Amino acid sequence: MNQYKYSIIRLSPDHVKGEIINVGIIIYLNDSLDIRTLQQKNKIQAITKNLTLESLQDFTEDLNWLYQLNTDSENFYKLFSGSIVISSPGMFTLRESMTYEKQVDILFEKYVTSPRLQKRNTQNKRIITQLKNIFDKAGILGRDLSDISNHRVVTNYPIAEGEGIYAELLLKNGAYHLTETLDLRTDNNKQKTGESALKAITISKAKSILSGNVNSFVIYASVDSQQDKKLIPQLNLIDSYADSIYNINSMEDMSTYYDHIFNAAGTQMKNYN
């Protein structure tokens, strides 16, 4: 009997409402992905007008590219946190009376053709939570996306919404100040490389889409907080994309980062820890 792992592609365009619909299915093959997505737009448009079938296709192309960097099907879903995410993997077994295509059709019908709305499970992001707490105590954390016009730091700002690409933290004061976080405190090198690649894509997209100058920062954490940045492969991957890379555990690094953000927000850094 042949066994295959699969994940569901899920769309959650409104982070406040938390509504989710299933828009596709991924089958993990040895070195590639078999991706099946909706071909009718009416179901997607029931909850959002901002996603097209073309942008969904763009997302599947990004999936294939990322999977070449990280073929660990068990952790692949952890790389996605925007408006389009994928579920943790399930598994199906092919029996003698069932062909591969028939089984995939059954799964697609069950999970995608007639899905029910679900509530999105939010994941605790340790680095991002620490940064948000600092900005919130200082009074510069925005309450919604419109606060970007008030020189506030906003979260989950849409960069390429149709492709599920959001800035983790974004501030605007004429120029944009983009912050992405990267948690390298895991032994899974494929996961770390894939997440680094996703951050690189986000920064690259932001610099090509947002009008004006974009200052980009990556705040990272590693198992060895004293390790030289140049010796961390994942940081070398994003070095040509990010303007500055800071260690969350370095007082010097974070002082430099906070000084920049607070100055951009028109205030001064105090001891908010």
Phi-psi region at 180: left, alpha or beta (left = phi > 0; alpha = psi -120 to 50) = beta
Residues 97 and 210 in one domain: no
Single residue among 92, 119, 146 that ends a domain in this structure: 119
Closest CA to 246 of 226, 219, 225: 219
- Whether 270 shows a pLDDT value over 90: the answer reads no
Rounded to the nearest 10 degrees, what angle do helices 251-264 and 126-138 cross at? Answer: 50
Single residue among 69, 99, 119 that ends a domain in this structure: 119
Residues 143 and 54 in one domain: no
Closest CA to 155 of 175, 170, 165, 174: 170
* 133 within some domain: yes
Residues 70 and 136 in one domain: no
State how many domains the chain has.
2
> Do strands 84-86 and 165-172 pair parallel, antiparallel, or not at all (unpaired)?
unpaired
Residues 81 and 192 in one domain: no
Alpha carbon of 121 to those of 20, 22, 87, 168: distances in Å? 10, 14, 11, 17
Domain range holding 231?
126-264
**E strand or H helix at 233:** helix 233-238
- Whether 225 shows a pLDDT value over 70: the answer reads no
- Say which residue the tokens 């919130």 belong to: 136
* 270 within some domain: no
* pLDDT (tens digit per residue) in 173-220: 989 999 999 988 877 777 788 888 889 989 999 999 998 899 999 999
Q: How far apart are CA 221 and CA 249, in angstroms?
A: 7
Residues 137 and 237 in one domain: yes
Predicted pLDDT of residue 268: 78
Look up residue 51 and give its DSSP letter. Answer: -
In which band, very low, low, confident or very high, does the pLDDT at 46 lie, cut at 50, 70 and 90?
Answer: low
Residues near 144 by beta carbon (within 8 Å), at least 6 away in sequence: 154
